[in-house]
Amino acid sequence: MNLNATITAIGLEILGDFHRDFSKNGLPLISVGSGSGYIEKLLANVYQTPFICVDPVAPTICAQKPEYAYVSHLCMGRPAYIGACNVFINWPFPTALNSGYDMEAIETLQPDNILLIISTCGLSGSARLLSFVKSIPTANGLFDDNDFILFEYNTGNKGELIKERVVFEQCAEAKNNKNN
């Protein structure tokens, strides 16, 4: 299995650094839209921090099969995780194809920390998720409509951006490369 282009650009060392901070509170790690679970399995093996994967479609070949199809199923099966978990969302469906499952997961699970890998130009993430990211006071002006970003956000009382990294500055360039 291959890493997606954004993970490759970020680099596993940087993703690992974010992951280490993201998971240090010891709360369950929930990956929403986990797909094949390859990144989750890799991080779990390296850092000894297993993920609970949620995805309605499990590919034929999975590194880690989803335990739940939807966040609502997870909440029924493990209600104690509501308000006591960390959420990882890696490259959710593009805005045009995204029903809002990414933001719905955040609102439903009320996680302690969120680790996101998204594009701010519509290549990934629902309109509501992108609006949420841009509304974070400490992120105001940090991201524009041409960024691919990796960031960790603490949803606690302070609602603070813990750390961020702009991965690519030019979405237009990435869109062009995708079309070529």
Structural domains of the chain, ranges and CATH numbers in brackets = 5-179 (3.40.50)
pLDDT of residue 168: 40
pLDDT for position 151 = 61
And the tokens for 9?
Answer: 């650009």
For residue 139, the model assigns a pLDDT of 57
Question: Residue 170: what pLDDT?
Answer: 39
Q: By the 8 A CB rule, do 146 and 176 touch? A: no
CA angle 129-130-132, nearest 5°? 65
Q: What is the pLDDT of residue 167?
A: 46
DSSP letters, the chain, are: ----HHHHHH-HHHHHHHHHHHHTT-PPEEEET-TT-HHHHHHHHHHS--EEEE-S---SS-SS--SBSSHHHHHHH-GGGTTS-EEEEESPPPGGG--SHHHHHHHHH--SEEEEEEETTSSSS-HHHHHHHHH-GGGTTT--TT-EEEEEEE-STT-EEEEEEEEES-HHHHHHHHH-
Tell me, what's the pLDDT at 74?
A: 97
> What is the pTM for the complete model shown?
0.80
Write down the pLDDT at residue 29.
Answer: 93
- pLDDT the model gives residue 32: 96
Cα torsion 104, 10, 12, 159: sign:
negative
Residue 121 corresponds to which amino acid?
Answer: C
What pLDDT is stored for residue 149 in this prediction?
A: 62
List, run by run, the mean pLDDT of 10-residue segments along the chain (180 residues). 64 77 86 92 88 89 92 97 92 84 93 82 83 69 55 56 46 44
pLDDT reported for residue 153: 59
